[in-house]
Amino acid sequence: MRRWMERCDAQTYGAAHAASVADLDAFWTWAWAECGIVGDPGDRAFEPGTEVLSARFFPEARLNVVETLLDGPDDAQVLVAIDETGARRSWTRAQLRQDVAGVAARMRAVGIEPADRVAAWAPNAPEVVIWALAALSLGAVVSTASPDFAPPGVLDRFGQVEPRLLLVGSTYTYGGRDFDMRSAIPEVLAGLPSVEHVVVIGGSQDEAYASWEEWSSTPGIFNPVALPFDHPGFILFSSGTTGAPKCIVHSAAGVMLKDLVEQRVHLDIREDDRVCYYTTTGWMMWNWLVMALGTGAAIVLYDGQPMYPTTTRLLDLAGSEGLTFLGVSAKYIESLREKSVSATRSQVATLRTIASTGSPLAPELFDYVYEHVASDVHLASISGGTDICGCFVLGVPTEPVRRGEIQGPALGMDVRAFDDAGRDVPTGERGELVCTTPFPSKPLGFWGDDGTRYRASYFERFSGVWAHGDFISRTENGGFVIHGRSDATLNAGGVRIGTAEIYRVVDAIDGVSESIVVGQRDGLDTQIVLFVVPAQGVEVDEALEIRIRSDLRRNASPRHVPARIVAVPAVPRTITGKLAELAVTDIVNGDPVRNVTGLANPESLDSFEQWARSNSFPDL
């Protein structure tokens, strides 16, 4: 960060950020060099086009991201994989190059060419990283899904993009339970006629499928294909709770450059660091973690339940692996606090940065981290999305950490809060999160779309400006606060309320394990309905309801107090752990429930359906 501040002669981060968005060509030219991108950048970093949507980056460049990701000393350890049982494997950079070259040679032998799709339905195993890098080295397009997706969810995603190759895990362990994926392979293949070859990690009982050992033992020469900067490299999928999953096509080079700026400049990841982000292969943070190879750091994969067999499993891993960077979800930090976990010095001795994403990090969770995990760590709350495979707002190492705030906007991105008319809202007021400048990880489009759906998703709300679907406010310190999704916004009595503001209060109440809040149509108005999962041994009685309403009135506002409080046994979440507010909204309003294949626990919807049948309101 300081090198960019020196480059633009800025004394503050605000001035440095302003310089980065004022001259995108200068900033992204600097970023290419700063991040050590291997390849020919051409003469221009930025071609503005006629609007944000049509702008291009490095239009004359030729590169392959794998050369950057695997550039550096041969003997450095760069990939470590640990599963729930404690089994550990590691690769030096030379070994990783060799394995990538071998798998790429096998892919080339079966006819894989640039723009072909290659998929993986597998746990967070090192084979998936090697598979993805091999495909990218040939110019193929990579899609991944975690094993907890059932076959219908896999087909909702991969069925749209028609992969030629499919990597599948044979088994995986989660929470002490062993799961066998092999019996589901025929069902998936029946819906994927495009698949020509199936490769199974750990072996298969069906001779029609190849083993990973067969594919990885082929000798090959590491020789990635040079490609344009905007050549497609990844297809990521929306969570699936707002309809059929969107197939978001990303430039591999665009994602890599954007993520490396976040990692190297904003989050201070350095060569020889050790980086772990707790993720599955179905979350964009897996792609983000793989891109961290380009920093020169070693990436550490963990596959399994993060609090099994002990609540300190990830913290133990941080200590044993000497992690300098640990990324988690806000929900994980909340779980640590609920279980009164305090880290030991040996667990966090090497940690410089803890990053949190997935949902807003409440002020009290900042307090918890600094009081009970690590008092001297950089706690970076970050927020972006699958849509950009990166961040809009995130950590700033030159700025102080303030509880409840994200430190600042990403360099090169003019992030603002707009009102409904497309005007900047005053500091402290909520507005729609928008970005008025183009950025390298802006999607190339949606697979199979003529551009209509893509434009409608992000650029029609405010003409030519990216609208992300989050509520955000700017603080007096120049930071930001995320207030939840604007497309799951409550609108009671004409007042719009971000759901995150309710969760922050309710989920901190003793006796409440989890909650989900939605708006239910009530004639011409909308009433707020709060569903709560009580803690073990607790009933949602009058006393608890009074406490919830009192705390919301006191810590949020009277407008945040729900009309109904209802006990449920569980709340629905997506595979990536996000609350499925839209599915519950559909149920309580008697609407068709949008795609449920993206849910980790679709059975949880039953209790909401039972409640809705006797608690509906007629439309007037």
What pLDDT is stored for residue 328 in this prediction?
96
Is 513 inside any structural domain? yes
Residues 431 and 550 reside in one and the same domain: no
If you search the block for the tokens 């303030």, which residue do you land on? Answer: 402
Residues 530 and 432 reside in one and the same domain: no
Is residue 385 within 8 A of residue 468, CB to CB? The reply is: yes
| 379/578 Cα distance (integer angstroms) | 21
Q: How is residue 373 annotated by DSSP?
A: I
Residues 578 and 461 reside in one and the same domain: no
State the pairing for strand pair 274-277/298-303: parallel
**Identity of residue 118:** V
What pLDDT is stored for residue 150 in this prediction?
85
- Residue 252 φ/ψ, nearest 5 degrees: -60, -40
What tens digit of pLDDT does each residue of 221-273 get? Answer: 999 999 999 999 999 998 643 456 889 999 999 999 999 999 999 999 999 99
Is residue 590 within 8 A of residue 618, CB to CB? The reply is: no
Boundary (domain end) residue, out of 474, 508, 523: 474
Q: Which of 437, 425, 327, 484 lies closest to 19 in space, CA to CA? A: 437
Domain assignment of residue 559, given as a range:
489-613
Is 516 inside any structural domain? yes
Concatenate the DSSP letters of all residues of 440-470 into one string.
TTS--EETT--SHHHHHHHTTTBTTBEEEEE
Is 480 inside any structural domain? no
CATH number (domain holding residue 609):
3.30.300.30
Is 211 inside any structural domain? yes
Is residue 388 within 8 A of residue 257, CB to CB? The reply is: no
Report the side by side order of strands in the sheet with 77-83.
88-92, 77-83, 298-303, 274-277, 325-329, 353-357, 378-381
Structure tokens at 115: 């723009």
If you search the block for the tokens 């749209």, which residue do you land on? Answer: 160
What pLDDT is stored for residue 620 in this prediction?
31
Phi-psi region of 532 (alpha: psi -120 to 50; beta: other; left: phi over 0): beta
Residues 421 and 300 reside in one and the same domain: yes
As to burial, measured by CB atoms within 10 angstroms (0-12 exposed, 13-18 middle, 19+ buried), residue 94 is middle
Is 482 inside any structural domain? no
* Rg of the chain in Å (alpha carbons): 24
Q: Which of 304, 282, 288 lies closest to 153 in space, CA to CA? A: 282
Residues 18 and 46 reside in one and the same domain: yes
Is residue 389 within 8 A of residue 608, CB to CB? The reply is: no
Residues 381 and 498 reside in one and the same domain: no
Residues 464 and 516 reside in one and the same domain: no
Boundary (domain end) residue, out of 444, 474, 504: 474
Is 134 inside any structural domain? yes
Residues 449 and 570 reside in one and the same domain: no
Q: Which of 583, 578, 605 lies closest to 282 in space, CA to CA? A: 578
What tens digit of pLDDT does each residue of 268-302 get? Answer: 999 999 999 999 999 999 999 999 999 999 999 99
Is 479 inside any structural domain? no
- Residue 610 φ/ψ, nearest 5 degrees: -60, -45
What pLDDT is stored for residue 181 in this prediction?
93
Boundary (domain end) residue, out of 451, 474, 497: 474
- In Å, how far from its chain's centre is CA 228? 26
Number of residues that make up the chain: 620
Is residue 300 within 8 A of residue 125, CB to CB? The reply is: no
Helices (H), 53-150: 65-69, 93-109, 126-137
Is 141 inside any structural domain? yes
| 403/17 Cα distance (integer angstroms) | 22
State the pairing for strand pair 117-121/165-169: parallel
Positions of the chain with pLDDT under 50: 240-242, 618-620
Number of domains forming the structure of the chain: 2
Residues 443 and 371 reside in one and the same domain: yes
Q: How is residue 356 annotated by DSSP?
A: E
Residues 93 and 69 reside in one and the same domain: yes
Angle (CA) 34-65-217 rounded to 5° is: 135
CATH number (domain holding residue 377):
3.40.50.12780
Residues 264 and 393 reside in one and the same domain: yes
Structure tokens at 409: 């906007």
Residues 262 and 206 reside in one and the same domain: yes
First-to-last C-alpha distance (Å) of the chain: 56
Q: Which of 109, 104, 106 lies closest to 139 in space, CA to CA? A: 104
